[in-house]
Amino acid sequence: MNTTLPLFVVIEDGHEYVDRFSRLLGERFRFVRAAGFAPAHAIREEPIAAWLLDLDFRRLAPEALVDEAGRPGSAIADAAALQGIYVLRALRAHGDRRPALLFADLDDPEQERWLTEVAGPVEVIGSRAGIVDIAARLARLAGERGR
């Protein structure tokens, strides 16, 4: 594996994003999967260019979820549907300011504005975004390695 390529951590409960991105963009970027907050938090000292988060974590065991305040193991049943946001907020609460991309279809522009206020810097990418657009965003973020 080429460790000189920009590193992106894909936080998801499955393998769809990390597999797709590795297959299609692996010559330009490195991708590592983290299944929730604890694994992501454990590798936070790595030179990560950005966090890439899925929104829904229904396949993750309930004890691996975090609640709205970022507390592990105490999430209510429907916390899985918003887990990507909760994980990002928990990372922010631990001082991580790296950019993030959240893969979600938000219904209301106000939701994205609120998300930026509480967990920015973050960009929301809807399901209609193609791999060319995603690659362009990753290339831009690769230059923004701030913490």
- Average pLDDT for 92-100: 95
d(CA 126, CA 130): 9
| pLDDT 10s digits, 47-76 | 999 999 999 999 988 888 888 888 887 667
Q: For the domain covering 7-142, report its CATH number.
A: 3.40.50.2300
Q: Where are the beta strands (DSSP E) in the chain?
A: 7-11, 30-34, 48-54, 100-103, 122-125
Q: Where are the domains of the chain?
A: 7-142
Identify the pLDDT of residue 8: 98
Q: Are 77 and 85 in contact (CB under 8 A)?
A: no
Neighbours of 111 (CB within 10 A): 13
| pLDDT 10s digits, 101-116 | 999 998 888 888 888 8
* pTM of the full structure: 0.90
